[in-house]
Amino acid sequence: MEWIRTADMGTYDVIAAFAELSEIDWSKSRFGIEEGDIVYIYVGAPYSRIMFKTICTNQMVDKNDIIDDIKFWITEDQFDIDNQYVRLKLISNYDTDELSLNRLNKLGFIKKRIQGAYKSINYPELFSYIGRIKLNIDYVNEAYTVPSISETEKEILAKARIGQGIYRDNLLNKHESRCMLCGLQYKGLLIASHIKEWSEANNEERVDCNNGLLLCTLHDSLFDKHLITFDDNGKIMISTKLNTKDRALCNITEESKIEMESRIAKYMAYHRNKFLEE
């Protein structure tokens, strides 16, 4: 069984706890978490996203064996040793907008807030989505730890996996299968283009759809080579390397623009700086 349990940062600092401890004891409440179950931890405001994957290693912790984590409780009187606790061992941690409450709301998996506990038998589509996101993140992490292949090969493998997987699917859904710049709708010519290039991004940024544009192959190539970029309003900036004829052939003008969201602004600022350096 898989679960989602919620963490209130106003009560217990789960982020600091997992930064120091490999296991923590979690209030069992009325939920039937058993040894071997996977438990995802949703961290509330200001993070509002699923951030940890754990496994239950003890479904009934003896109160004499409870881990001493009192310093992570915001006020010590909120800790109740007489509660029943399960022990959760950290497997992975995540910090991606793909697992944010906002994203899960938009995809229809969650209505409003995440409260209490969710289990996979009742929310199969939600947990299937979490699993696909987790696979993409884990694949990138694993690709970069394989010693027998070169860095270039690792990058090619990981980019191929992300480009043909859920990352591209999410961008296709988000932008209604249209090039953001010219409106082309033929899916075979649409590319999930990273704004902050793969080689400079960390593993979380590589799977963050806010670090992506959906562009046709031509405009993806222009963007990738820093021949075009976009300002904070989404208006195109064109390299002086492209003359008037080239611009016409590439179907771009000074008035061309994309819809710009604030969440991609930090990535676009990075790309724009690269554009200005060339």
Range with the largest mean pLDDT of 57-61, 160-164, 200-204, 266-270: 266-270
Domain count, the chain: 2
Please say which residue of 93, 123, 153 terminates a domain. Answer: 123
Residue 129 lies in a domain: no
For residue 6, the model assigns a pLDDT of 92
**175: phi then psi, degrees, rounded to nearest 5:** -110, 20
Percent of the chain with pLDDT over 90: 39
Residue 98 lies in a domain: yes
- On whether the CB atoms of residues 206 and 158 are closer than 8 A, the answer is yes
Confidence of residue 42 (pLDDT cuts 50, 70, 90): very high
153 and 89 inside one domain: no
Q: Which domain, by its residues, includes 7?
A: 2-123
249 and 166 inside one domain: yes
pLDDT in tens, 133-169: 765 555 455 444 445 545 554 554 455 444 545 677 7
172 and 267 inside one domain: yes
CA distances from 85 to 16, 66, 103, 151 (A): 19, 8, 31, 44
Residue 29 has pLDDT above 80, yes or no: no
The domain that contains 6 carries what CATH number?
Answer: 3.10.590.10
Residue 197 has pLDDT above 90, yes or no: no
Residue 110 has pLDDT above 70, yes or no: yes
Residue 239 has pLDDT above 60, yes or no: yes
181 and 101 inside one domain: no
